């Protein structure tokens, strides 16, 4: 009996995983296997799935990269990565099962015959591991490499097995490049075989936006322009660009975060109820929202770039002094904007969006601000304590949802004070939330595309981003305009002040 078919040791299953069906036997091929994403996220996610008995009984992992390495050395590197970045304890029996099917191939797909060794290994694994010709190709590589890889993979399809292609963001650099990239991919793969990944959609709290809205009858009737004053979506990061200058100089905050994460959160917040929760029904409603976002007024768009400052008690350099960044770079590390969703539900309701690097804290939130209660009889008595109700969906960290209501302070008089009603996932369900990549990799193996982005949604996202970037052409920004470790540019506060509003801190 080989390591793959050994009896599994039972482990406590997390809520909801007991009825998970296992994917068909398959091989997962990771292109970019020597990269940071593989170390920090992908292999730890696979270990977590194996830990819970959710991987196929017949399964293999093939790491592919140009970096010279051996299978044994790569396995040891991945074990260290799981120990450092995984959410579960390192158990020898679990690692033994996973590692038995792990292989590494050093090759360059852009060279003649660069794919040959990979294909030979996959055929060998079909026989030895019983993977049946089923393939999941994970492209954790730069966009410039994707076309070369998919062309080779398209030429060497297995005659009987199924195939799924996972493509990491960014999917292109703008609308034109996204269309070209998609043409290259669909010439080799069908749309239902393509899984464009945005890891934010794998987060439990993001998925819970749908459950919160559509499974609770008290919220959906007031989730519209009649009752909602405004919506704020924030993706704030305390980290800088790390070692990603080569990528970030070409992307900036609007392409790195707004094009995908922020617009995904907006779409989930604003979408209509789908007919069901099948992949296309959900994605159809999301696309409608993104297409309905009007290009923002130039006066309500703020871009920023961080200068020197202090984060978590440590002095950090400004963006222009980061390694690999041009000393006169005009790349934005912060974006704030006010947009409208031009449809029946949301007409006239402003959505305020912001994201930035090296801010004062790390937080991703969706804030639904409701209109004040009409003509409350104790308005004069309550004074400043009478604030609008709001709902805060905390995506990260400390995942949960809270509501702000007004309550009477004990004692004489009608003194009102805001109080919070809240729940947090870890306290409510007594489990550690699974990492986003666990859910997304498993869904791709199962062929469930609900949490992946369809091409028409990608194109709608890029169309919006292109409309914003076009406004910046020919104008030289006054950078840097905020210090690292602060909430962002003062112009972002002024944007809100013009509407007599404040950012929720």
pLDDT at 433: 73
pLDDT for 383: 58
How would you list the strands of the sheet with 363-370, edge to edge? 301-304, 334-340, 350-356, 228-236, 363-370, 390-396, 400-408, 416-424
Query: What ranges in 28-70 are assigned the alpha helix state H?
Result: 36-37, 43-51
Cite the DSSP H helix spans in 354-497: 379-382, 425-429, 436-446, 455-472, 490-497
CA distance 50 to 58: 12
- The answer to whether residues 394 and 504 touch, using CB atoms and an 8 Å cutoff, is no
All structural domains of the chain, each given as residue ranges with its CATH number in brackets, are 3-168 (3.40.50.720), 202-432+454-497 (3.30.360.10)
447: left (phi over 0), alpha (psi -120 to 50) or beta: left
Residues of the chain with pLDDT below 50 are 1-18
CA torsion, points 295, 301, 305, 311, in degrees to nearest 10? -110
What pLDDT, in 10s, does the model give residues 166-218? 998 878 889 999 999 999 999 999 999 999 998 888 888 788 888 888 888 89
pLDDT at 77: 95
- Kindly give the interhelix angle for 436-446 and 43-51, rounded to the nearest 10 degrees: 80
pLDDT given for residue 16 in this prediction? 43
Q: Which residues are catalytic?
A: 261
Burial of 478 (0-12, 13-18, 19+ CB in 10 A): exposed
Q: How far apart are CA 409 and CA 271, in angstroms?
A: 37
pTM of the model: 0.88
Distance, C-alpha 380 to centroid of its chain: 45
d(CA 7, CA 51): 13
- What torsion, rounded to 10 degrees, do the Cα atoms 32, 34, 39, 45 define? 40
DSSP letter, residue 343: S
Residue 309, classified by CB atoms within 10 Å of its CB into exposed (0-12), middle (13-18) or buried (19+), is buried
pLDDT given for residue 12 in this prediction: 38
Residues 234-291: tens digit of each pLDDT: 999 999 988 888 889 989 999 999 999 999 999 999 999 998 888 889 999 999 999 9
């Amino acid at each position: 009996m080989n390591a793959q078919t050994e009896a599994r040791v039972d482990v406590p299953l997390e809520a909801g995983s007991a009825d998970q069906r296992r994917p068909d036997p398959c091989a997962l091929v990771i292109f970019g296997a020597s990269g940071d994403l593989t170390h920090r996220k992908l292999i730890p996610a696979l270990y977590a799935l194996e830990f819970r008995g959710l991987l196929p009984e017949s399964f293999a992992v093939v790491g592919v990269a140009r970096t010279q390495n051996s299978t044994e050395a790569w396995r040891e590197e991945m074990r260290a990565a799981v120990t450092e970045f995984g959410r579960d304890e390192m158990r020898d029996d679990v690692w033994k099962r996973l590692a038995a099917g792990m292989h590494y191939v050093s090759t360059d797909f852009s060279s003649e015959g660069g794919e040959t060794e990979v294909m030979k290994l996959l055929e060998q694994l079909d026989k030895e591991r019983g993977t049946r010709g089923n393939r999941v190709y994970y492209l954790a590589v730069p966009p410039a490499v994707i076309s070369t890889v998919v062309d080779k993979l398209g030429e060497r399809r297995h005659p009987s097995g199924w195939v799924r292609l996972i493509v990491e963001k960014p999917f292109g650099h703008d609308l034109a490049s996204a269309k070209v990239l998609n043409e290259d991919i669909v010439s080799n793969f069908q749309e239902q075989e393509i899984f464009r990944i945005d890891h934010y959609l794998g987060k439990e709290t993001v998925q819970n936006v749908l459950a919160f809205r559509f499974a609770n009858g008290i919220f959906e009737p007031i989730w519209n322009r009649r009752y909602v004053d405004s919506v704020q979506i924030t993706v704030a990061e305390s980290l800088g660009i790390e070692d990603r200058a080569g990528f970030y100089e070409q992307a900036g905050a609007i392409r790195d975060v707004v094009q995908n994460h922020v617009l995904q959160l907006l779409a989930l917040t604003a979408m209509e109820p789908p007919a069901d929760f099948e992949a296309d029904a959900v994605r159809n409603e999301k696309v409608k929202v993104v297409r309905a976002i009007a290009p923002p007024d130039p006066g309500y768009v703020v871009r920023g770039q961080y200068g020197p400052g202090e984060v978590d008690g440590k002095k950090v350099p400004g963006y222009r002094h980061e390694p690999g960044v041009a000393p006169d770079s005009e790349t934005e590390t912060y974006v704030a904007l006010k947009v409208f969703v031009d449809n029946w539900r949301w007409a006239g309701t402003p959505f305020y969006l912001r994201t930035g690097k090296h801010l004062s804290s790390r937080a991703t939130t969706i804030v639904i601000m409701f209109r004040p209660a009409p003509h409350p009889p104790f308005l004069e008595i309550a004074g400043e304590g009478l604030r609008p109700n709001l709902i805060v969906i905390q995506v990260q960290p400390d995942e949960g949802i809270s509501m702000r209501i007004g309550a009477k302070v004990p004692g004489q008089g009608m003194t009102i004070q805001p109080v919070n009603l809240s729940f947090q996932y870890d306290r409510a369900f007594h489990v550690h939330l699974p990492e986003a990549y666990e859910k997304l990799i498993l869904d791709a193996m199962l062929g469930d595309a609900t949490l992946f982005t369809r091409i028409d949604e990608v194109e709608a996202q890029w169309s919006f981003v292109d409309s914003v970037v076009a406004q910046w052409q020919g104008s030289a920004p006054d950078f840097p305009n905020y210090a690292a470790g602060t909430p962002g540019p003062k112009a972002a506060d002024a944007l809100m002040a013009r509407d007599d509003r404040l950012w929720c801190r």
